[in-house]
Amino acid sequence: MVVKIPAKAVVSASTALGLVAALTACGSGEESGDQTLTYWASNQGASVEEDKKVLKPTLDRFTEETGIEVELEVIPWSELYNRILTAVSSGDGPDVLNIGNTWAASLQETGAFVPYEGADLEAVGGEGRFVETSFATGGVEGEPPTSVPLYGLSYALFYNPTMFEEAGIEEPPSTWEEFIDTAEKLTKDTDGDGQPDQYGVALEAGSERQNSHFAHILAQQYGGKLWSDGPNFASPEVVDAVKLRLDMMAEHGVVDPSNAEFSDGTQSIADFVDGKAAMMMMQGSARTTLASRDFDNYEIAQVPMLDPLPGKPIQSHAAGINISVFNDTDNKEGALQLVEHLTSPEEQVYLSQEFQTLPVAVDAYDNEELQGEQMQTFRTILTEHASPMPLIPEEGQMETVLGESIAGLFADAATGSEVTKADIRKALKEAETQMDAAN
């Protein structure tokens, strides 16, 4: 008996484990042939499925030209960063991938991406192909970039011309003073219940990313910056920058306090569409959302600036998506070819129209399809009034810490507390200490 039993026990045990092993066979993940590249694309359009449809023709053209098949995976933003992490730490990743351009410096440090220099840079079209401000986002200054731009984006001021007309406003505001003035005129109680139900402007006030972006943009206008050898959040310029945007809600009441809860990047667009707000400052990709809501009653203008302007004429960070080649690729040549293909002027024209982004290849702007007034406004902002977010490995963390601290100030303002300049400085100082402590 003593002999017989363990045998059985072992059998059942190994059956159990064997089952697991057997299931492996059903799992995916076998190496594909040499001539296939895997490509991780970020989700740009209305859905992952939609993006696949958009990308398929351009990838088919690539296969036609080069004979290289591309296996496409569109990864939603909520997952992309973690997926890159797993790819980097396991060495088991795609050949080519998209990254948010503000991650460029951080991911550069991992050493997981091929640096674009020398022949490799030429292979993707050379530096001269790209819009300068976008190209600058590719990595830390002074080192060969490990990413090149793929989709360019910039902020702009969106406004509702009908509402402007109703309020007797003829021109979109070009200074912040005018902006507040305009916004005040546009904030009204239309149904007479004593509460405004149309506001001058909608803000994504709970969004860490947008909070950080505008701290960066406005701080530049004030002549400061977020980062100089370390976090610089509590400097007078950054405090002023945060205050300017915060006061739209806290002091001028031209932003619905509900906006303090907006964090996914679409809710302020919804307010704009629903006529609850007359203006918003969003990146060009917001047009995808506007289109999906069948809304075209909007005009686009440049982001206002300070007058007089103590700092630089910056209206946006050089936003967008970059593209990198993974170091562990078996087919670097093919991977670079794919990058070349996707950033070529012809494909850029196609992609920018599909995804409502801006071409990153200079020559693409010559295309007659892209001569519209909106495109020109965006182009001016991106090429002349944009500066990259700080090109530092801590950028991601900075956006989280700083953006969250600003979101907290908006939350205070929305829940009725008074937020003074001293409060802002205190909160930003705390964010600064937090950044320091974690590095």
Partner 1 sequence: MSTTEEPRHRAAQEATEPAGPESGAESGARKRRPRRSFLPYGMILPAAALELLIHIVPMILGIYIAFTSLTQLTIRNWTSAPFVGLENFVQGLDPGGALGSDLFQSLFRTTVYTALVVGLSWALGMAAAVSLNTRFRGRGVLRTLFLVPYALPVYVAAIIWAFMFNQRDGMINRLLVQDLGLVDDRPFWLIGENAFWVLVIVSVWRLWPFAFLMLLAALQSIPEDMYEAAAIDGASTWKRFTRITLPMVRSANAVVLLVMGLWTFNEFNIPFLLFGDTSPDSARLISPFIYEHSFVNWNFGLGAAMSVLLLIALIIASAVYVRLVLPKGRGND
Partner 2 sequence: MTETPGFRWFRRITLTFLTVFTVMPLYVLVVTSVKPLEDVRGLFTWLPDRLTFRPYVEMWSTIPLARYLTNSLVVTVTATVLALMIAILAAYPLARLRFRGKRVFSMTVLSTQMFPGILFLLPLFLIFVQLEEILGIQFTGSYTGLIITYLTFALPFSIWMLAGYFQAIPEGLEEAAMIDGTSRIGALFRVILPVARPGILAVGVFAFITAWGEVLFASVLTDTETRTLSIGLKLYTSQVDTLWNQLLAASLTISLPVIVAFILVQRHLVSGLSAGAVK
Among 9, 46, 48, 291, binds partner 1 (CB under 8 A): 9
Distance in Å, CB of 396 to partner 2, minimum: 17
Task: Rule CB under 8 A: say whether 77 interacts with partner 2.
Answer: yes
Task: Rule CB under 8 A: say whether 234 interacts with partner 1.
Answer: no
Interface segment toward partner 2; rule CB under 8 A; list 147-155, 218-226, 283-291, 403-411: 283-291
Among 66, 110, 292, 374, binds partner 1 (CB under 8 A): 110
Task: Rule CB under 8 A: say whether 5 interacts with partner 2.
Answer: yes
Among 33, 64, 67, 90, binds partner 2 (CB under 8 A): 90
Distance in Å, CB of 106 to partner 1, minimum: 6
Task: Rule CB under 8 A: say whether 19 interacts with partner 2.
Answer: yes
For partner 1, the closer of residues 52 and 188 by Cβ is 188
Distance in Å, CB of 196 to partner 1, minimum: 13
Task: Rule CB under 8 A: say whether 288 interacts with partner 2.
Answer: yes
Task: Rule CB under 8 A: say whether 86 interacts with partner 2.
Answer: yes
Task: Rule CB under 8 A: say whether 430 interacts with partner 1.
Answer: yes
Task: Rule CB under 8 A: say whether 408 interacts with partner 1.
Answer: yes
CA distance 352 to 198: 33
Task: Rule CB under 8 A: say whether 175 interacts with partner 1.
Answer: no
Among 32, 46, 126, 372, binds partner 2 (CB under 8 A): 46
Say which entry of partner 2, partner 1, none residue 260 contacts (CB below 5 to 8 A, set by partner kind): partner 1
Interface segment toward partner 1; rule CB under 8 A; list 37-45, 109-117, 245-253, 374-382: 109-117
Among 48, 60, 79, 111, binds partner 1 (CB under 8 A): 111
Distance in Å, CB of 111 to partner 1, minimum: 6
Say which entry of partner 2, partner 1, none residue 274 contacts (CB below 5 to 8 A, set by partner kind): partner 2
* HEC string for the chain: CCCHHHHHHHHHHHHHHHHHHHHHHHCCCCCCCCCEEEEEEECCCCCHHHHHHHHHHHHHHHHHHHCCEEEEEEECHHHHHHHHHHHHHHCCCCCEEEEEHHHHHHHHHHCCECCCCHHHHHHCCCHHHECHHHHHHHCCCCCCCCCEEEEEECEEEEECHHHHHHCCCCCCCCEHHHHHHHHHHHCECCCCCCCCCEEEEECCCCCHHHHHHHHHHHHHHCCCCCECCCECCCCHHHHHHHHHHHHHHHCCCCCCHHHHHCCCCCHHHHHHHCCCEEEEEEECCHHHHHHHCCCCCCEEECCCECCCCCCCCCCEECEEEEEEEECCCCCHHHHHHHHHHHHCHHHHHHHHHHHCCECCEHHHHHCHHHCCHHHHHHHHHHHHCEECCCCCCCHHHHHHHHHHHHHHHHHHHHCCCCCCHHHHHHHHHHHHHHHHHCC
Distance in Å, CB of 136 to partner 2, minimum: 24
HSE-up of residue 396 (Cα within 13 Å, Cβ side)? 12
Distance in Å, CB of 402 to partner 2, minimum: 22
HSE-up of residue 242 (Cα within 13 Å, Cβ side)? 33
- Interface residues toward partner 1, by CB under 8 A: 2, 5-6, 9-10, 13, 16-17, 82, 85, 88-89, 91, 106-107, 109-112, 206, 208, 256, 258, 260-261, 263, 393-394, 396-397, 400, 404, 407-408, 411-412, 414-416, 430, 433-434, 436-438
